[in-house]
């Protein structure tokens, strides 16, 4: 076993042990030396990933994952992730469409031929601290879709071809959905620098799903070439103290803050701030209620808020492009098996 391999092995082992502890900072402090070890191994692997990307083009992501899953995003800009991320196309019942391989770019392209893009699986994470304050974030101004908007703690997609596996059975995996939670762990680290020792896989509670679409007309006007069309899993997680340690990725996040429900309502009433259409839809369709009864929402089993529903909502009128018209139904942009 080489020196680098040994460092990586022990770092992975101790991170696994830490991730099964409670959602708090104590485990992070205990295993801090191993975070350092992992950072050294990650630096080595990032070089390997960059080399793989140069040599193998689209095959680089698989090579990176074989070396170190936590390196997702190393050496990539927004355009690279648009091309290489392979999303999970879903039908109206949130079943993965067999044989469908869609890039992030293809799924998010809006035009006359695809007025709502392609429906795909996503997740929205809500992180709370011990004061029940919610972490809200502003998307980086460099983001291709919905730049500069405020939203929940982290929003992204489970991907195909990842390890650990992020592809759930949208029906049979209820209510655990381990794949979506693996994706949440990956993206919290990528966007906010949150270690899995502070918000482990076991910390997430699935609430419900939303089916929505929205054109990014605020950024690009009524001919917007981009938009969202998702079946979105809502995940809640609560942490000890003032919240998890953050190490913000400026390519993903412009700003952030922890807020109370009343502070959030005031922010949402501020016309100078932009908000993601999915976050508005979630908060208008149960978000504030679940937040006000957080202990119930966070129950490991038997929460009255956890359900199999897929709640549909259209976007506000300002998020409808010139190619969207009343004849389009809920199944517009949804693939079938």
Q: Is the pLDDT of residue 50 over 50?
A: no
Q: Is the pLDDT of residue 95 over 80?
A: yes
Mean pLDDT of 136-143: 98
Residue 18's Cα: distance from chain center in Å? Answer: 22
Mean pLDDT of 236-262: 97
pTM of the model: 0.82
Euclidean distance between CA atoms 149 and 275, whole angstroms? 5
Cβ contacts of 55 within 8 Å, gap of 6 or more: none
Of 64, 155, 239, 306, the catalytic one is 155
Q: Is the pLDDT of residue 107 over 80?
A: yes
From 22-26, 173-177, 291-295, the region with the lowest mean pLDDT: 22-26
* Active-site residue flag, 284: no
Res. 208 pLDDT band, cuts 50 70 90: very high
Listed by start position, the domains of the chain span: 87-319
**Sign for the pseudo-dihedral over CA of 196, 198, 200, 206:** negative
Euclidean distance between CA atoms 255 and 10, whole angstroms? 34
Cβ contacts of 138 within 8 Å, gap of 6 or more: 148, 149, 150, 151, 253, 254, 255, 256
pLDDT score of 305:
98
Res. 290 pLDDT band, cuts 50 70 90: very high
**Left if phi > 0, otherwise alpha if psi is -120 to 50, otherwise beta: which for 100?**
beta
pLDDT > 90 in the chain, percent = 76
Mean predicted lDDT score pLDDT of the chain:
85
Res. 73 pLDDT band, cuts 50 70 90: confident
Mean pLDDT of 89-98: 97
Burial of 318 (0-12, 13-18, 19+ CB in 10 A): exposed
pLDDT score of 304:
98
Q: Is the pLDDT of residue 228 over 50?
A: yes
pLDDT score of 75:
86
Mean pLDDT of 85-110: 96
pLDDT score of 175:
97
Res. 2 pLDDT band, cuts 50 70 90: very low
Of 133, 198, 228, 230, the catalytic one is 230
Euclidean distance between CA atoms 230 and 8, whole angstroms? 36
Euclidean distance between CA atoms 277 and 145, whole angstroms? 12
The residue that leads in pLDDT, 75 or 212, is 212
Mean pLDDT of 135-144: 98
CATH architecture of 87-319: Alpha-Beta Complex (3.90)
Res. 71 pLDDT band, cuts 50 70 90: confident
pLDDT score of 70:
59
Strand pairing category for 150-151 and 134-139: antiparallel
* Active-site residue flag, 230: yes
From 12-21, 86-95, 287-296, the region with the lowest mean pLDDT: 12-21
pLDDT score of 24:
53
Q: Collapsing DSSP states into helix, strand and coil, what is residue 254?
A: strand
């Amino acid at each position: 076993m080489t020196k680098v391999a040994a460092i990586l092995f022990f770092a992975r082992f101790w991170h696994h042990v830490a991730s099964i502890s409670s959602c708090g900072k104590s485990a992070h402090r205990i295993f801090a030396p191993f975070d350092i070890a992992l950072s050294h191994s990650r630096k080595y692997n990032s070089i390997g990933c960059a080399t793989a990307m140069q040599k193998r083009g689209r095959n680089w992501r698989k090579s990176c994952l074989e070396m170190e899953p936590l390196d997702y995003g190393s050496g990539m800009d927004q355009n690279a992730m648009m091309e290489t991320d392979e999303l999970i196309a879903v039908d109206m019942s949130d079943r993965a469409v067999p044989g469908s391989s869609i890039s992030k770019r293809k799924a998010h392209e809006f035009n006359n031929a695809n007025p709502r893009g392609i429906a795909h699986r996503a997740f929205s994470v809500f992180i709370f601290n011990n004061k029940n304050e919610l972490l809200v974030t502003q998307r980086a101004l460099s983001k291709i879709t919905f730049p500069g908007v405020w939203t929940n703690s982290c929003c992204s997609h489970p991907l195909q071809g990842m390890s650990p596996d992020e592809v759930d059975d949208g029906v049979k995996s209820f209510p655990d959905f381990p794949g979506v939670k693996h994706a949440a762990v990956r993206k919290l680290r990528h966007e906010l620098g949150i270690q899995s020792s502070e918000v482990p896989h076991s910390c997430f509670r699935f609430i419900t799903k939303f089916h929505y679409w929205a054109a990014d007309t605020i950024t690009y006007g009524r001919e917007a070439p981009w938009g969202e069309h998702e079946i979105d899993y809502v995940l809640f997680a609560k942490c000890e103290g003032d919240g998890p340690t953050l190490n913000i990725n400026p390519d993903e996040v412009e700003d952030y803050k922890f807020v109370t429900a009343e502070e959030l309502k005031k922010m949402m009433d501020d016309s100078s701030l932009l908000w993601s259409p999915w976050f508005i839809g979630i908060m208008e369709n149960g978000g504030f209620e679940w937040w006000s009864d957080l202990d119930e929402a966070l129950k490991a089993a038997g929460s009255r808020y956890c359900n199999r529903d897929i709640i549909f909502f259209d976007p506000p009128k300002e998020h409808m492009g010139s190619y969207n018209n009343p004849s389009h139904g809920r199944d517009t942009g949804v693939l079938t098996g």
